[in-house]
Structures are given as structure tokens and as C-alpha cells.
């Protein structure tokens, strides 16, 4: 059972080998900070097994604000 948020950061574009880094975080605020600091990148986010509803809502808000985010 996954307890952490996993965040992949990719270069923008359609390159298959665009992965820059994969990080794990204990709470969503750390994920949010990393994405806001690297707005130009593309992100793949894997939530923990039981994420808070508020965290998922914040993730959707970030996507709506223009960040390039996919959920896995």
C-alpha cells in the first residue's frame, strides 16, 4: 500500500526519454511546491493509496490553473 505521493517531472514535448526525476513526498504541500517551482515542466502524479479529498481537489485546481499534470 503506497503511503507517499510520487511525482515524476518530465521535459515538455513528446520525447519518450523526457523523464528528469522521480521523487516521493510524505504530504501534498511538498508536491505542490515542487510543481509550482517548475511550472514549465510536465508532471505525472501518483497519489498515495488513501489521499485526502482536499489534496485531490488542490491537485485538480493546479491542473486547471495551467500546470501540465497527469495522474497515474
Number of domains in the chain: 1
In degrees, rounded to 5, the angle at the alpha carbon of residue 71 between the alpha carbons of residues 41 and 6 is 75
Residue 9 within a domain: no
* Domain residue limits at 63: 22-71
Give the start-end residues of each E strand in 1-72.
5-10, 19-25, 42-46, 68-71
In degrees, rounded to 5, the angle at the alpha carbon of residue 8 between the alpha carbons of residues 10 and 32 is 105
Residue 12 within a domain: no
* Tens place of pLDDT per residue across the chain (72 aa): 789 999 999 999 866 678 999 999 999 999 999 999 999 999 999 999 999 999 999 999 999 999 999 998
Residue 47 within a domain: yes
Amino acid at each position: 500500500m503506497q503511503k507517499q505521493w510520487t511525482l515524476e517531472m518530465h521535459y515538455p514535448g513528446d520525447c519518450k526519454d523526457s523523464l528528469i526525476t522521480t521523487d516521493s513526498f510524505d504530504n501534498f504541500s511538498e508536491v505542490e511546491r515542487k510543481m509550482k517551482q517548475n511550472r514549465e515542466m510536465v508532471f505525472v502524479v501518483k497519489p498515495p493509496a488513501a489521499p485526502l479529498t482536499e489534496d485531490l481537489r488542490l491537485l485538480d485546481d493546479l491542473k486547471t490553473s495551467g500546470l501540465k499534470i497527469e495522474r497515474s
